[in-house]
Structure 1
Amino acid sequence: MSWTQARALWPQLSASLCQRFRHLNPTAMARFRGDRAKLNLYLAQTHDLTLAEAAQALDDWLAFSIATPDLQAAA
């Protein structure tokens, strides 16, 4: 799944991200609306990661989300 596709599915993916990364706030996630740069920064700040680590974590999560049946059905 590309980030463009992820943005189109933002409500579903936002909830999935909040489950995966427990320190993310659903209200804050709704404000980002799929903005990758803001999400990277927020993830780094809330999970004590560098920006590079946060970007890698998002890439890994996105790759995993492709294999998740609930998210595949939404696509």
Structure 2
Amino acid sequence: MTWSDVTADWGRWFQHMKTRFPNLDDSAMPFLKQDRGRFEAYLADTHHLSLIEAREEFEDFLFVETLVQDA
């Protein structure tokens, strides 16, 4: 799964992301879904992660969701 897949069906994937990243704020999402870098920076800030950790966590999220879809 890719960032494009997430943004193509944002409503669905945002709910999945909130399960993994509970500090995401609904009101910030319209601005963040247009830019993965901004989203990852926001994720780092709201979940007390470094930017590298946030990128890795989001990559893990995408990987796991790909496995679930392929199952």
Give the TM-score band, short-chain normalised.
0.7 to 0.9
Identity %: 31
**Does 2:45 correspond to 1:45?**
yes
Tell me the TM-score normalized by structure 1: 0.79
Moved over 2 A (4+): none
- The within-5 A match list for 1:1-75 is 1-69=1-69
**Bigger Cα displacement from structure 2, 15-24 vs 28-37:** 28-37
| Cα 1:59/1:34, change in 2 over 3 Å | farther
Question: Over aligned residues, Cα RMSD in angstroms?
Answer: 1.7
Unpaired segments of 5 or more residues in structure 2? none
Calculate the TM-score normalised by the size of structure 2: 0.83
Structure 1's unaligned 5+ residue stretches are: none
- The answer on whether the counterparts of 2:33 and 2:39 sit within 8 Å (CA) in structure 1 is no
